[in-house]
Amino acid sequence: MPRRVPSFGLAVALLAPAACTQNDDPEGARQLYAKITAGAGFRAWERAPGYATRQPSFTAHADAVEVFVSPEIADALGGPTPITRWPDGSIVVKEGFRGDTRAIVAVMEKRAGRWYWAEYDGDGDTLFSGEPKVCVGCHDKRQSYSDWVYSFELPR
């Protein structure tokens, strides 16, 4: 079951539009967007556990979300061995919608043991990239999240 944090998530959602963007790595964000939209794109990937369809969201990622996982995460989820960290190359893509309109695309990619974040508006223009405080603050590993992933758990 996906995690829901209504009170904190709502506060973040209300503050997010007023927050400044933190686009620390525009070229890296451009390359990541090209990567997730190449060929059939991320919508051809498996959906994250608990996100077989669009789900209501109570976080900063719009009113409803669809979450897709790269083959690295899909393989780890389907593998026989429990893991404590997602493998390098793992990508999580969360599309956020307001009504039927795509509002954002939020992406996490595991690179050399660290997460790289990028968030794009509905048209694919970069809003955040690198390790933005707004992303890291919500996904902070001191929380009980699954190797910084908030939406679903590591396979145990």
Q: Return the percentage of the chain with pLDDT > 70, whole number.
A: 76
Tens of pLDDT, residues 67-108: 999 999 999 999 898 898 999 999 999 999 999 999 999 999
Does 148 have pLDDT greater than 80?
A: no
- Comparing 21 with 3, the larger pLDDT belongs to 21
Contact, 87 vs 110, CB < 8 A? yes
Alpha-carbon distance 67 to 51, whole Å? 6
Give the pLDDT score at 13: 39
Task: Indicate the pLDDT class of residue 136, thresholds 50, 70 and 90.
Answer: low
Give the pLDDT score at 61: 76
Helices (H), 70-132: 71-78
Task: Indicate the pLDDT class of residue 4, thresholds 50, 70 and 90.
Answer: very low
Q: Across residues 142-152, what is the average pLDDT? A: 68
1-10, 24-33, 115-124, 128-137, range with the lowest pLDDT: 1-10
Mean pLDDT of the chain, nearest integer: 82
Report the sign of the C-alpha dihedral through residues 90, 27, 135, 51, in that order: negative
Q: Which two tokens stand for residue 36?
A: 């997730």
- Comparing 147 with 30, the larger pLDDT belongs to 30
